[in-house]
Amino acid sequence: MQKRSPNHSQGVDVSHWQGDINWQKVADAGKRFVFIKATEGEGWTDPKWKDHALGASKAGLSIGFYHFARFKNRAEAVREARHFVQTIDAMPSALPHVLDLEVTNGLSKVELSELALFFLENVKKWTDHEVMLYTNANMAANHLTSILQHVPLWIAHYGTDQPRPNKIWKKWRVFQYSNRGRVPGIRGFVDLDEMVPEVSDEPHTYTIQAGDTFWDLERKNGWAHGTLQKLNPLVNPRRLQIGQSIRIP
């Protein structure tokens, strides 16, 4: 798996444990994206998810949401997927919808992998939105199978600049490299993440419309977070002008 790189975007992931956050300070500190815990199991909803989403979006960060898995069978996986989708449905997100898979619940690697894929397929079908799997290096190496190899990976492994390899994925999309980060605007520790930008080779021009935000531009054009600003650094996400045309070479 690839190492960390200065060319990657930097971000965080949060839940209600971080409390109130000054998202403008987070953005000013160079963080460009955030994954927000939305739901867990069949009925629990993070009480801060919407506040985090609105605040981060207003500050110009790309946002995404994740669900913490508790399912042990297909019926539970369906109910959890429905709970996740219904919770976040009204909130646009530029980043993939994520399944957070950290516990086996006594399932075999085959059973767990099949249920994870089943959950993600349902979320993708119901939302028509990209999905991604979050797990840690130990789970990836010992508790999952290659049935998940085509699902983009968000991997957690702390204290290293290169995650431990596994037999399923050759590369990661997002790397959670610390769970004890310090970021202005956030009290206490926070998870730190790095994301690989996906840059289109095709030239593209987009004219900014009324109401567009920075993440709107990326979402509408299929760009991963950081693509626009990386290729056109003159674009300030908080100073978009209606009618301004942006060409990505």
Phi, psi angles (nearest 5°) of residue 127: -110, -15
Please state, as a whole number, how many other Cβ atoms lie within 10 Å of the Cβ of residue 129: 18
Q: Quick check: is 13 catalytic?
A: yes
Residue 60 CA to residue 33 CA, distance in Å, equals 9
153: helix, strand or coil: strand
In DSSP terms, which residues pair with 111 in a beta bridge? none
219-245 burial, b for 16+ CB within 10 Å, e for fewer?
beeebbbbbbbbbeeebebeebeeeee
Residue 15 CA to residue 51 CA, distance in Å, equals 10
Lowest mean pLDDT among 142-146, 157-161, 214-218: 214-218
Q: Is the pLDDT of residue 109 over 70?
A: yes
Q: Is the pLDDT of residue 218 over 90?
A: no
Q: Quick check: is 102 catalytic?
A: yes
Considering only residues 191 and 197, tell me which one the structure prediction assigns the higher pLDDT: 191
Mean pLDDT over 216-236 rounds to: 48
- In the chain, the percentage of residues whose pLDDT exceeds 90 is 73
Mean pLDDT over 173-202 rounds to: 87
pLDDT in tens, 158-187: 999 999 999 999 999 999 999 999 999 999
Mean pLDDT over 185-193 rounds to: 97
* pLDDT confidence of residue 90: 82
pLDDT in tens, 36-66: 999 999 999 999 999 999 999 999 899 999 9
User: What angle do helix axes 109-127 and 74-88 make, rounded to 10 degrees?
Assistant: 30
Cα–chain-centroid distance for residue 40? 16
In DSSP terms, which residues pair with 141 in a beta bridge? none
Residue 18 CA to residue 13 CA, distance in Å, equals 10
Instruction: Kindly name the residue from 20, 89, 102, 161 that is annotated as catalytic.
Output: 102
Residue 156 CA to residue 163 CA, distance in Å, equals 7
* pLDDT confidence of residue 233: 44
* pLDDT confidence of residue 227: 47
Average pLDDT, the chain: 86
Mean pLDDT over 24-31 rounds to: 95
